[in-house]
Amino acid sequence: MHTVKTKRVISMGLGAMAVLALTGCPPAPPEDETIMLPGGVPLEMVWIPAGSFMMGRYAGEQDSFDNEDPEHPVSLGRGFWMGRYEVTKRQWTAVKGTTPWSGQPDVIEDPDSPAVYVSWYDALSFIAQLNGLTGLTFRLPSEAEWEHGCRAGTTTRFYWGDDPIYTSLSDHAWWQGNARDAGQRYGHMAGLKQPNAWNLHDMSGNVWEYCEDDWHEDYIGAPADGAAWVDSPRGLSRVFRGGGWQSGDTYCRSANRACSPPDVASSGYGFRLAR
């Protein structure tokens, strides 16, 4: 049976939305969708399928860290939407009407580069306003959802393979070697590097991406269903993933993880949406 790729386009005004087109087969879910933000700014989302994967570093993984242990199975019972790109400056301004990166160091003004100098709390504020505009329920991905989306069915160090001497890293990621050390000290325009198998761009490198989860030093006790691991009361730091333009090669691996207090904003931190 031939499957035709589907795409849904959602247009919305302030507080109103309408499905304009749904073509192809099967009708649900489409493989991607575009939500039109105020000013005609597109927000592209990709459907991430349900499924099981092994989260964390595999035994003996090269250049890996203890906080990626233990490798453990995670089963996501349903699929979800994930941003094709990190949230861009153009999208941020369309929703918030602000430019928090203006006048800050290590930034380019390209509107299609990642929105930076936004904290985890700022990301939540953007999402709340976006949800009010669209009537949809965007959120930050859980750490497990993020890794599932990043791996795109792979089990290797990177979504393009183990790459033991990092020969293919620059084809897929902006990192220390081709950004910071090359005098390009900023997050680059979205989508310039090769995507993973699920057509997500910049999951490795460019800017670190916030997740919903509180930081834990390892995965002992982590949820097995892909839910965000949230403490009560909330922890002092939040997870971010993926590495950035200032990161060394090993920090761009699919299993790598780090954290930051939720009120910190910098040129190296951004976020990607889920729903």
Note the pLDDT tens digit of each residue in 200-256: 999 999 999 999 999 999 999 999 999 999 999 999 999 999 999 999 999 999 999
Is 10 a member of any domain?
no
d(CA 90, CA 227): 30
Q: Is residue 118 domain-resident?
A: yes
C-alpha to C-alpha distances, 59 to 68, 156, 159, 270, nearest whole angstrom? 10, 11, 17, 30
Q: Is 24 helix (H, G, I), strand (E, B) or coil?
A: coil
User: Is 31 contained in some domain?
Assistant: no
| Number of domains, the chain | 1
- Tell me, yes or no, whether 97 lies in a domain: yes
pLDDT digits (tens, 9 = 90+) for 187-202: 999 999 999 999 999 9
Alpha helix positions (H), 101-163: 120-134, 143-151
Q: pTM above the 0.85 mark?
A: yes
Domain assignment of residue 154, yes or no: yes
Q: CA–CA separation, 6 vs 46, rounded Å?
A: 11
Residue 42 lies in a domain: no
Output DSSP code: residue 235.
Answer: -
**Per residue in 95-130, pLDDT tens?**
999 999 999 999 999 999 999 999 999 999 999 999
**Is residue 105 domain-resident?**
yes
Q: What is the DSSP letter of 239?
A: E
**Has residue 17 been placed in a domain?**
no
With cut-offs at 50, 70 and 90, classify the pLDDT of residue 22.
Answer: very low
d(CA 17, CA 259): 36
Which residues on adjacent β-strands are paired with residue 12?
17
Q: Which domain holds residue 211?
A: 48-271
CATH number at residue 181: 3.90.1580.10
